[in-house]
Structure 1
Amino acid sequence: MTAAIDTALDADLAALADVRAKARAARRAFEALEGTDQETLDRYVRAMALAGTKAAEELARLAVDETGYGVYEHKIYKNRYNTGFVAKWMLERRAVGVLWVDDAARVTAVGAPMGVIGSIIPVTNPTSTTLFKSLAAVKSGNAIVHAPHPRAARCTLRTAEIMADAAVSAGAPEDLVSCLVEPTLPSTQELMRRAEVALVLATGGPGMVRAAYSSGKPTIAVGAGNVPAYVGESVPDAAEAAEMIIASKSFDNGTACVAEQSVVVVDAVAPAFLAAFEARGAYWLDAAQQDALVRVLFDERGALRPGAVGQSAVRLAELSGFTVPSTTRVLAAELHSVGVETPLSREILGPVLSVYSARDAAEGLRRCREILALDGEGHTTAVHAADPEEIAPFGTLPAGRIVINTPALFGGMGYSTEVDPSFQLGTGTWSGSICSDNVTPLHLINIKRIAHEVRPWRTVYDPVEL
């Protein structure tokens, strides 16, 4: 027993020593990088992006094999989205030095790096998130230390190594990108508290998000999403809306929190939509199957069971004791209430959709608001409608992204819409976050304003007429 305790203690001490070493080395790298211009930083970013794209398949395989979550082919797409589309967007913009000049106001904005970023990586999207955060940090002139989820430690470490090696090969300082080797909860907490860390950039479950905001450091953190999709009377194409929702929710076995969780369908279009919904791979669960699925998805405390996350619809059915056609893409449950007493109305990181009917747009709006209030406020809502008067009221919902006639996943992350492309989506003060934007390198800098006098300062004493 004593030997086992000593071994565990040695492992904890080694993990804490790793944090200290990585944080100090990252700070030295940041200091070596000080004053580097945007063109040089972009050279590093381009090399990193190219290396990440080359390794996309390797990293996807590592992630699926280590975590047991998601779909290999879809994780390739997630990796390449960040090293391709997102990286290109980053390279087209400035994050350090002069950002913009307002000649009329005589103000110049200058971007300044923050320092060392403490990065918390989730188990659901480990490699793609590490790619994104590494690129964003270096683009903005920062160093970054990643703290992986323990069940995604190896694939996260490998991703960080690829990013670090590519940056160094392009001329960047050693240790600009690094990763904890044996992550533990205490070591992750220690990273967030380290004096060398200027900002915590956290993606993870509610517990980790709370820990990040309790670290005493400036923090941008995102957590749960419970995303409703509204299908209105003016939907342009009911069948296409069904395909978009299913494609989004089934992508990578539902591991993205920005994907739809519930569908709210107005009665006038329900027959056409639901027929297409079923034809495109939705399997309707009866009451007994719903109960069986709930027992598989949630434990006695109401928390998601890790073993049920990121599984296919067919696999979830098998675990629940029933079979579905091999072509099933999502499991669908017709529900009539929202709340903790209706578990399938909550966020589920898997291909499961709850479906509600609504008499009209007003009732649909109320239902969407109710769904968001169940741990989804601040995240995303999808609206499938063409009539501006039907769409407009949904702008009052507490959601950072309200995407129109597009999959919530691809619209929310900034591919099929013109919101900033990102792999960390802020949820605002609705959910306890400081940021409701899609996070970009511009969130990882301090902005200085060089401002010239434009009115005589002595006139400050003069009265002002309104």
Structure 2
Amino acid sequence: MKTQWGVFSSVTQVVHAAKEAFHVYRRVSLRERKQMIQAIREGLYSYSHEFATLACQETGMGKVADKIIKIKLALEETPGPEDLQTHTTQGEGGIVFSEPYPYGVVCAIHPSTNPCETLINNTISILSAGNVAIHCPHPRAMEVSKYITKIINQIIMDKFGICNLVTTVDSCSLSYIKEIMNHPDVELILSTGGSDAAKCALSCGKKVISAGPANPTFIVDETADVERAAYCIHKGASFDYNITCTSEKNIVVVQDILPQFRAALECLNVYYVDSISEMLQLSKILLTEDLEVNRQYGGKSADTILKDAGIVTDRSYDLIAVETVRIHPFVTKELLAPLITIVKARDFDYALQIGIEAEQGCHHTAGIHSSNSERLRRAAKAFGTAIFVKNGCSLDGIGICGVGATSFTIANITGEGTVTAKDLVRKRRCVCVETLSSYA
């Protein structure tokens, strides 16, 4: 099976290979585990540009330059085995250890939007926790995912002589994913994205860590540094054509500063739409007749969208901002395109109300730009999201600012939030009782 380099033609083969690999891996010391993770980081780094290019070509979504940034972020900032936590309590009766130990075989489901960085991020987290991985890529990213899996196996095999710690199937359909998830030898399901597979995972009767739908909403109030707020929002929403699940999608602005905010956005190469005619033109291509999202434009450039909508411009744009009402489908649906909505509110309290409604209880990502500390506190508490950004860019929420762990699985459904190695282990209470000699 070693010649397979982690890619198998059937569910039976891939699960058997992963289970056998786990029996070997569980004997590897923590020190060797750390060395393996470091080898993966170093070995994959030079492939960043190739992976990003292949992902764009296969999925038809996103920008190569931005995908390179995300891939390098996953390699550099995903926590390794050092993320695991051990606690000790000592008393007269003995010692109690609270220690992590692996589940075993993990089924990891990936989205089409961030295939490379999610696979790499999850691989580092899963192996750091002492588990082995069966990756289930999105069909639109199958080839690049298999390629990365093979390279990871080659790195591990060359340096440590172990194969199939990371595996996948040759083709991945929903029926295959269901079969893997329900296999008795699979102990944990790690689901990224709001796909049908994620819904199936929750019905498997196993431990599930699951991400879900998102509709990131940010508030800009009248006390904010408007130019900085516009800069941060442009940076996050235009990044990789806004297909990252944490990127700004809806902006609720207190109306007193809307003219200033609009001017700041337009200075940052944002095409601002406030006419009904242009809004209808955009709606015709970005929405279906049933007012659902037209996935054909997911991850496409702002220029492509404007051109196909019949909107003539004299230059290239990074992002489209559409001023609209709170109930428009652009607000309530996640487009996964370089378009943000601008919804005005008469004051902060109303802005907070609109923002919470727009986020729709996904508990994924939200944020605020304000210099009022009480409003920062109120908004964070009211949204209750897994990621909440104060006076920053959405990208800061996944560690691109250099602070905090990086994760591309945001478990808003099951509540773990940004998932790292510490979330992928069982918690064991190990008790060492004081000597029994006193009872002799």
Give TM-score scaled by structure 1 length.
Answer: 0.86
Cα 1:360/1:106, change in 2 over 3 Å? farther
CA contact (8 A) 1:120 1:203 kept: yes
Partner of 2:284: 295
Cα 1:232/1:59, change in 2 over 3 Å? same
Output one character per residue of 1:95-114: Cα deviation in whole Å (capped at 9) or x when no partner.
Answer: 3xx72324469432211011
Aligned to 1:443, which of 405, 423, 429? 423
Partner of 2:387: 401
CA contact (8 A) 2:319 2:339 kept: yes
Give the match's secondary structure for 1:331. Answer: strand
CA contact (8 A) 1:283 1:332 kept: yes
Matched, 1:146 2:135: yes
Aligned to 2:354, which of 367, 380, 383? 367
Distance in 1 (CA, whole Å) between partners of 2:269 and 2:403 is 29
CA contact (8 A) 1:147 1:180 kept: yes
Distance in 2 (CA, whole Å) between partners of 1:116 and 1:383 is 40
Structure 1 position 337, deviation (Å): 2.1
Distance in 2 (CA, whole Å) between partners of 1:294 and 1:436 is 36
Distance in 1 (CA, whole Å) between partners of 2:9 and 2:58 is 25
Aligned to 1:239, which of 223, 227, 241? 227
Cα 1:16/1:35, change in 2 over 3 Å? closer
Where do residues 167-316 of structure 1 align in structure 2 (5 Å cutoff)? 167-171=156-160, 173-235=162-224, 237-285=225-273, 286-316=275-305
Structure 1 position 325, deviation (Å): 4.3
Deviates more, 1:443-452 or 1:239-248: 443-452
Distance in 1 (CA, whole Å) between partners of 2:385 and 2:100 is 29
CA contact (8 A) 2:112 2:138 kept: yes
Distance in 1 (CA, whole Å) between partners of 2:257 and 2:295 is 37
Cα 1:150/1:281, change in 2 over 3 Å? same
Aligned to 1:164, which of 153, 161, 164? 153
Structure 1 position 19, deviation (Å): 1.5
Distance in 2 (CA, whole Å) between partners of 1:342 and 1:438 is 28
Partner of 2:408: 423
CA contact (8 A) 1:16 1:187 kept: no
CA contact (8 A) 2:111 2:192 kept: yes
Structure 1 position 300, deviation (Å): 3.3
Distance in 2 (CA, whole Å) between partners of 1:335 and 1:417 is 34
Structure 1 position 134, deviation (Å): 0.9
Output one character per residue of 1:201-220: Cα deviation in whole Å (capped at 9) or x when no partner.
Answer: 11133422212212333211
CA contact (8 A) 1:294 1:344 kept: no
Q: Which has the higher contact order (CA 8 A, sep 6+)?
A: 2
Give the match's secondary structure for 1:293. Answer: helix
Structure 1 position 328, deviation (Å): 1.2
**Quick one: which amino acid aligns to residue 318 of structure 2?**
R
Structure 1 position 273, deviation (Å): 1.8
Structure 1 position 24, deviation (Å): 0.8
Aligned to 2:370, which of 385, 393, 403? 385
Aligned to 2:86, which of 99, 109, 119? 99
Matched, 1:354 2:354: no
Deviates more, 1:39-48 or 1:209-218: 209-218
**Quick one: which amino acid aligns to residue 151 of structure 1?**
R
Deviates more, 1:55-64 or 1:397-406: 397-406
Q: What runs of 5+ residues in structure 1 fail to find an aligned partner?
A: 1-14, 428-432, 455-466
CA contact (8 A) 1:233 1:266 kept: yes
Where do residues 54-133 of structure 1 align in structure 2 (5 Å cutoff)? 54-86=46-78, 89-90=79-80, 93-95=82-84, 99-103=86-90, 106-133=95-122
CA contact (8 A) 1:403 1:417 kept: no
Distance in 1 (CA, whole Å) between partners of 2:212 and 2:362 is 11
Aligned to 1:19, which of 11, 23, 31? 11
CA contact (8 A) 1:38 1:94 kept: no
Distance in 1 (CA, whole Å) between partners of 2:378 and 2:103 is 39
Distance in 2 (CA, whole Å) between partners of 1:79 and 1:406 is 21
Output one character per residue of 1:41-74: Cα deviation in whole Å (capped at 9) or x when no partner.
Answer: 1111111111221111110011011111000111
**Quick one: which amino acid aligns to residue 144 of structure 1?**
A
Distance in 2 (CA, whole Å) between partners of 1:396 and 1:62 is 41
Report how many residues are paired. Answer: 424
Give the match's secondary structure for 1:322. Answer: coil
Distance in 2 (CA, whole Å) between partners of 1:212 and 1:185 is 11
CA contact (8 A) 1:45 1:167 kept: no
Give TM-score scaled by structure 2 length.
Answer: 0.91
Give the match's secondary structure for 2:10. Answer: helix
Deviates more, 1:158-167 or 1:139-148: 158-167
Distance in 2 (CA, whole Å) between partners of 1:82 and 1:16 is 25
Q: What runs of 5+ residues in structure 2 fail to find an aligned partner?
A: 1-6, 435-440
Structure 1 position 345, deviation (Å): 3.8
Partner of 1:8: none
**Quick one: which amino acid aligns to residue 423 of structure 1?**
F
Q: Aligned Cα RMSD in Å?
A: 2.1
Distance in 1 (CA, whole Å) between partners of 2:402 and 2:369 is 14
**Quick one: which amino acid aligns to residue 437 of structure 1?**
G
**Quick one: which amino acid aligns to residue 160 of structure 1?**
T
